[in-house]
Amino acid sequence: MTGEKRIDLHTHTTCSDGIYPPEQLIEKAAFVGLSVISVTDHDTVACLDRAIEHGKRMGLEEVVPGVELSSEENKHEVHILGYYMDYQDPDFLKALRAFREERLNRARKMARILQDLGLDVTFDEILMAAGSSMNIGRPHVAKVLLDKGYVSSTQEAFDKYIAEGRPAYVPKFKISPEEAVELILRAGGVPVYAHPGKTGDPDHVIYLVKYGLMGVEVWHPENSPEIQKVLIEIADRFGLIKTGGTDFHGEGRSKAPLGSIDVPYESYIELKRARSRAKI
């Protein structure tokens, strides 16, 4: 371990599917010795104010405002990270609110289908299961099915009812990766291709450069060493910022402990510098 300051640019809180509320996540970050952390919840910025405020209280150098947008390309999931967007930008908030509305409508539909199948599952119960998460979805439907004893495991809930092709499956509204990049740019943020070793692929990273993509997540628990090498070459060839993080969701919910991946401090500096070039 060098004396360089440590950073983690990819984490989740209870506002999406992480197990820790923002304050606790920030305390953990301080405890493991991170100087900089970014909170990148899925499709929501609802925990950013709390995280940033608590970062100040805990004396972190910076809590970078972030987001991880879900998008879809040819039926394949692609995640686009955004850093330093103005997360109070009215158009940006409007888009996030629309995603949430879509999720709520979808949960309502799933409840109705399950009821038609003779199962007593209500929309309110699904809402309760979602708790503080803004990303209400199938995991919460599965939880209700499990809690009510209709299935004996989450997996069974998916296999029997809510996996693609099963009777209560309702497809999710998805934006394209190009739209995700544009949304972040319009809010003055820096769009970064998340974990191409997990979802997406290196050629698609190159494709998005002409839409304004500014970075690629090189260091991630699900990017193999081989893919990291390819991504570093691509980043250097196309002038993309190389970023990284643990994608921490909580112990037992993540492939790597918070702060456990070496990400150069320079990544953070470059993101900070790039924000002034971002707005379209």
Which residues would be at the binding site for ligand AMP (CB under 6 A)? 137-139, 155, 158, 163, 172
For the sheet with 62-73, list strands across it. 6-8, 34-39, 62-73, 76-83, 190-193, 215-219, 241-244
Quick one: what does residue 158 bind among ligand AMP, Fe ion, Zn ion, none, with the CB cut-off 5 to 8 Å set by partner type?
A: ligand AMP
Q: Which is nearer to ligand AMP, 137 or 188 (CB)?
A: 137
Partner interacting with residue 79 (select from ligand AMP, Zn ion, Fe ion, none; CB below 5-8 Å by kind): Fe ion
- List the single partner that 163 binds among ligand AMP, Fe ion, Zn ion, none, CB under 5 to 8 Å by kind: ligand AMP
* Least distance between Zn ion and beta carbon 64 (Å): 18
Nearest approach in angstroms of CB 90 to ligand AMP is 26
Task: Indicate the residue among 17 and 125 with the shorter CB distance to Zn ion.
Answer: 17
Q: How far apart are CA 115 and CA 150, in angstroms?
A: 12
Which residue number places its CB atom closest to Zn ion?
Answer: 17
Q: Single out the residue of 121, 118, 139, 119 nearest to residue 130, CA to CA.
A: 139
Q: Which is nearer to Fe ion, 18 or 264 (CB)?
A: 18
d(CA 246, CA 47): 18
Q: Which is nearer to ligand AMP, 32 or 163 (CB)?
A: 163
Q: What does 172 bind: Fe ion, Zn ion, ligand AMP, none (CB cut-off 5 to 8 Å by kind)? A: ligand AMP
Contact 63, 35 (CB under 8 A): no
The strand pair at 76-83 and 62-73 is best described as: antiparallel
CB of residue 148 to Zn ion, shortest distance in Å? 25
List residues binding Fe ion (CB under 5 A): 68, 79, 194, 247
Tokens 């809590």, located at residue: 63
What does 247 interact with, of ligand AMP, Fe ion, Zn ion, none (CB < 5 to 8 A by kind)? Answer: Fe ion
Give me the least distance between CB of 175 and Zn ion, in Å please. 17
- Write the DSSP assignment of 53-102 as a string of letters: HHHHHTT-SEEEEEEEEEEEETTEEEEEEEES--TT-HHHHHHHHHHHHH
Nearest approach, Cβ of 61 to ligand AMP (angstroms)? 31
Token representation of residue 255: 């492939």
Q: Which C-beta is closer to Zn ion: that of 70 or that of 267?
A: 70
Q: Which two tokens stand for residue 41?
A: 């919840």
Exposure class string for 9-45: b at 16+ Cβ within 10 A, else e = bbbbbbbbbbbbbbbebbebbbeeebbbbbbbbbbbb
Interface positions with Zn ion (CB under 5 A): 12, 17
Q: How far is the CB of 234 from ligand AMP (least distance, A)?
A: 27
Angle between helices 202-209 and 225-238 (to 10 degrees): 20
In angstroms, what is the minimal distance from the CB of 255 to ligand AMP?
14
